[in-house]
Amino acid sequence: MKSDKRQRAFKRGRGVLPMRQHMAHRNRSLQDFALLDDITSDTVTRYGRDLRRTYVNAAMARMMGQAEHELVGATPSDTRPTQAAQTYEVFLRQVFKEGRERNCIYRWTDKWGRLRTSHIQVIPEADEQGQVVSLLAIGRDATHWHAAMRHLELARHAAAICTWEVDFCEQPPTVDVQGGGIFGLRVAAPGWPDFIGHVPSCQRRACYRKVLRAAAKRQASVEFEHVVTHADGSRHETYSWVQIEYDQHGGIG
């Protein structure tokens, strides 16, 4: 009888030991995570199934410009009620549904009105039954990197050449454009209002005067700089070399 009791006690003890080892390993892992979390510049956020934050690290609070307790318990759209936040929540729900790790680029506006870009890795966290119970989102601020890439793209545009020919003998004037993509033009022969609309109204008259003065002097060409407004609303300095063709009466053709 005593032997049976000792055997049952041994079995119970043997069953408890792996659990204690697991808990000790888990506690060490949490301590290591907390240590790394304190020194990392990456943002770390944990979301529950209702998409409310259950944890944010100091880097996340600094980037958001809010205290950690203000972010915990709120969803992304609670903190920033924007379309970008709602789209991000749709992405998080999809990760919950699929149960696999995914990455995304999240563009958002901080409390100071600055546009930020974050690269975020979202990792599903499952319970013992394999059900995803939370998401761990680790983000890295990529704002400066994306700005550098944008400047590089603009430099490529600046190095591109657009040629255009305007026939003033027709009314309204017709325009034949080659390489108009640098202005955001999608057609080779846009209407004159669309084409000239890329030059700000405050500079159009000055450009006309330069061409007319050159024509009055019977110059074959004229060069000048002006601003061009691209399709995305950005403005950039442009160098123009205009070759003037005359008709048989000396007028601009």
3-state secondary structure 46-65: EEECCCCEEEECHHHHHHHC
126 and 192 in a common domain: no
Query: Is the pLDDT score of 76 beyond 50?
Result: yes
139 and 55 in a common domain: yes
132-141 vs 115-126, strand pairing mode: antiparallel
Residue-level pLDDT at 12: 44
Q: Which of 101, 99, 98 is nearest to 137 (CA)?
A: 101
Q: In the structure, what pLDDT confidence band is assigned to residue 93 with cuts at 50, 70 and 90?
A: very high
Residue-level pLDDT at 154: 60
Q: What is the mean pLDDT of residues 135-146?
A: 84
Q: What is the mean pLDDT of residues 50-58?
A: 94
- 161-193 tens-digit pLDDT: 566 666 655 666 666 666 566 566 666 666 667
- Mean of the per-residue pLDDT values of the chain: 75
- Between 228 and 110, the more confident residue is 110
What residues does 227 pair with on adjacent strands? 237
- Between 69 and 214, the more confident residue is 69
144 and 178 in a common domain: no
What is the domain-level CATH number for residue 120? 3.30.450.20
Query: Is the pLDDT score of 14 beyond 50?
Result: no
Q: Show the domain range for 70.
A: 40-148
- Name the domain boundary from 148, 177, 194: 148
DSSP 128-194: TTS-EEEEEEEEEE-HHHHHHHHHHHHHHHHH---EEEEETTSSSPEEEEESGGGGT--SSS-BHHH
Q: What does the block give as tokens for 191?
A: 């209407």
